[in-house]
Each structure stands twice: as structure tokens, then as C-alpha cells.
Structure 1
């Protein structure tokens, strides 16, 4: 008869075995799955996010769903209201117009100042980011919109730093809403996305030429392109 072997006593200072890894993995996968459903529009803005229904849809328990909703709320993709549960975050047409109008006033100014201050090394760094955005963002089998969003953030943050204007940088940090930027890339049609990618490349060309007026003009077009896409989507959602 086989008898169960006794557990060896844990030595002092030895960490206890962890049972959190599977839960952590499950939560991470659930976060990724829900984020993708939201960004693809399968969970529409304003849609109610019921834990039981989502757990069944994703084949997980309610615990990782609850944790995922909390994380996505910190990212701005989900809104959680006491006693009312969670919903996909929404922005009205008016809110989006206000956000993009503010960015259109600030981002072109940052690009113009960057054109005056950027060194050859700075320009090379921006060029690399713009080229990588074209590589990962161009529609096709290799497209990675999450990677594009991160490269885009780095590109615009670098322009803000090169502008060397603390007041402008502070204003930009409050005007740029990461969830809107991320959703923007998933909302673009093919032509709007190609236009956006080309804008980054042209902004680098303007900065390389030291032409502040050119850089400002292209960034203005870049912001107007993004505004048109997001406002049109919001108008369609509002009916």
C-alpha cells in the first residue's frame, strides 16, 4: 500500500510556494481580451459590462473579469460607477471636439519649437520612431496597433521634450488622453491611417530642414485628421 509522503518542513527564510501565478496569468489574458473587444468595437461605447456574461464569453471565472475591469478603468477604457456596475467608457461628440481642438492648439506649437531646437541626433531618433510606425502600422498581416500606439506616444512625447517649454509640456500632458489615442488607431479607416503615418514622416522632414512653419502645418493636419475620425465615430454612435 502506497502511503502519502509527508511534506518536508519549509526552512526558515524560504518563501512559501505561491499560488498566484495562474490567477495573475488569467487576469492578464482577460485584460488583453477585454481591451481588444473594446478597441475593435465588439463592446460598444456605453455597453454594460456584466461580470457573469463576460466570464462566460471568455471562459474564465468572475475573479479575473473583476480584476480586468478594475485595470481597464485605470486605463480609461472602462467606467465603474458605484451600484451601477461597469460600462465601456464613452466620450460625447462635444467632449471629443473639445479635446482635439485643445490638442490642435498645442501639438503644432510643440512641433514648431522642436524644429528650432532639434539636433541631428534628435532628428535621427524621431526618424527611427516614424519609420517603425510605418512598419507596424501599415495595414496588412504584420500590423500591430498596440505597438503603433506606444511608438506614437514616444514620438509625441519626444516632440514635447524638444520643444523645451515646461508650460506647454504640462498643458499637453493634460490634453492627451491615452485611451482616446489608442482607440483612434483602431477606429481609423485604411486611408486615414496611411495619412496619419505619412504625417509623422513629413514632420521629421520638416524638423530635419529646421522649418518650424512646415512642422506646425503638418502637425495641424495630423490633428485634424485624428479629430475627423473620432468625431465621425462618436456621431455615428450617438445616432
Structure 2
């Protein structure tokens, strides 16, 4: 059946009224996914007009989407130039992941001596949920696995019960970098990450702080490696 002319025409949103939020959401998702998939690599400039044409919305919702992505830390707004995708240098990566390995391994060690049975149940359930996302046979939806991963690591911080240590970790862990790390993971990388999570839970169950700490350190260092080791399936 032939399509009507109206159905074939681009559905532009003028950025006014109730449709503006939906248009901004659509632009936000499109640009965010493009950044994480390296369609726009670190340092790339994004211009409102080009993005409006790509997403089929007006510049007003694109501008709102760029503001949200800037708040997320995925890009920075540059006067008269539009937006620029954030980049991390090798030194940035070494510093961030080095601090994470030190701090998060300490958290895991503390958590091993303080975890209660209900904590272990929740950690196990989070492992189940992440493995279900990875193993569903489809392309991995990182928007689903990232909050689960965040909750897993956040729960370990809560169990450890060291408020200052938790604050330091949250300052070091840059969520945009976590998102980029996941986006670079191969199936093999994801499987290793899931195995690390399981082993950390086993170490907590055994109340073995050294075991938990060593696995967490390896877990974080493996995340650093995806930025330098060639990606394989």
C-alpha cells in the first residue's frame, strides 16, 4: 500500500508545547548513543543545525539535549562553536583507574567483614540481572546494564560503611567514563566482568577480605585495559 505524502514528510518539532520534551528526549538519546558508539569521537564538535537535521527536530530541543549531555559530562558547551565531545588523556585514564583500583579494592575488603545475608542476596540478584542483559542473545543494552552495575558497586560502598571512602570514590568515578568503558566492551570483556562480580560475592560470602580486594583490583584494572587492548569478540 502506498504511503501518504504526510507520512513520508519529516516530522519536525518546533520546540513548542508538549512535543518539545519528547523531541528533546529523542535528540538526547540519539546524540548520547552516537557519542558512546564513537560516531562522534572525543574532541569532535557537534553543531546544532546538523544535529537537528539528523534527528528530525528543531534546534530548540537539540539545544536542550546538548545541555543535558553537558550536565552528564559527555560533552562541553563551547561559545560560538556548539558542543565538543569530552575526551580523556592517557594520563587521565591512568589516574582515574589507578585511584579506583586502590579505593574500590579497599571497599571490597571492608565489605567482606561487614556484609549481612540480605546484602549477599541483593548482590546476587544484581549479578543475575546483569547476566540476563548480557546473555539475552541480542545486542547488549548498556542503558540497562549501567544502572545495575552502578547499584552493585554502590551497594558495596554502603556495606563497607566508610562514609569518607565512599565520598572519595564517587568523586573519582566519572559516570561518562563508565559508560564509555562499557561501550567498548566485547562479549568476552563483559563475561569477564560478570565473573568478577560473582567472585566478589563469593569472597564476601566467605568473609575473605583479601580475596574480595584482589578481585576488585583486577576488575577495575581490566576496565582500564579496554582503552588500550585491541577489541576482540
SS of corresponding position for 1:230: coil
Deviates more, 1:82-91 or 1:211-220: 82-91
CA distance in 1, matches of 2:66, 2:139: 29
CA distance in 2, matches of 1:72, 1:122: 33
Which of 176, 184, 195 is equivalent to 1:198? 195
CA distance in 2, matches of 1:183, 1:149: 10
* Cα deviations by residue, 1:103-157 (Å, 9 ceiling, x for unpaired): 0110011011111000111110111111111111347316321111000010101
What is the match of residue 115 of structure 1?
112
RMSD of aligned Cα (Å):
1.4
> Any residues of structure 2 matched to 1:13-24 within 5 Å, and which?
20-24=17-21
SS of corresponding position for 2:83: strand
CA distance in 2, matches of 1:141, 1:194: 15
What is the match of residue 69 of structure 1?
66
Asked whether the 8 Å contact 2:52–2:58 carries over to 1, the reply is: yes
When the two structures are superposed, what TM-score results if normalisation uses the length of structure 2?
A: 0.88
What is the match of residue 13 of structure 2?
none
SS of corresponding position for 1:87: strand
CA distance in 1, matches of 2:172, 2:55: 34
| Greater Cα radius of gyration, structure 1 or 2 | 1
What is the match of residue 98 of structure 1?
95
What is the match of residue 16 of structure 1?
none
Asked whether the 8 Å contact 2:45–2:81 carries over to 1, the reply is: no
Q: 1:52 to 1:107 in 2, by over 3 A?
A: same
Count of paired positions: 215
Structure 1 runs, 4 residues or longer, greater than 3 Å off: none
Matched, 1:33 2:30: yes
What is the match of residue 126 of structure 1?
123
How far off is 1:82 after superposition?
A: 2.7
CA distance in 2, matches of 1:200, 1:194: 10
Asked whether the 8 Å contact 2:74–2:176 carries over to 1, the reply is: yes
CA distance in 1, matches of 2:209, 2:133: 28
Q: 5+ unaligned residues in a row in structure 1: which ranges?
A: 1-18, 234-239
CA distance in 2, matches of 1:98, 1:138: 32
CA distance in 2, matches of 1:98, 1:32: 30
When the two structures are superposed, what TM-score results if normalisation uses the length of structure 1?
A: 0.86
Which of 190, 209, 214 is equivalent to 1:212? 209
Q: 5+ unaligned residues in a row in structure 2: which ranges?
A: 1-15
CA distance in 1, matches of 2:34, 2:189: 22
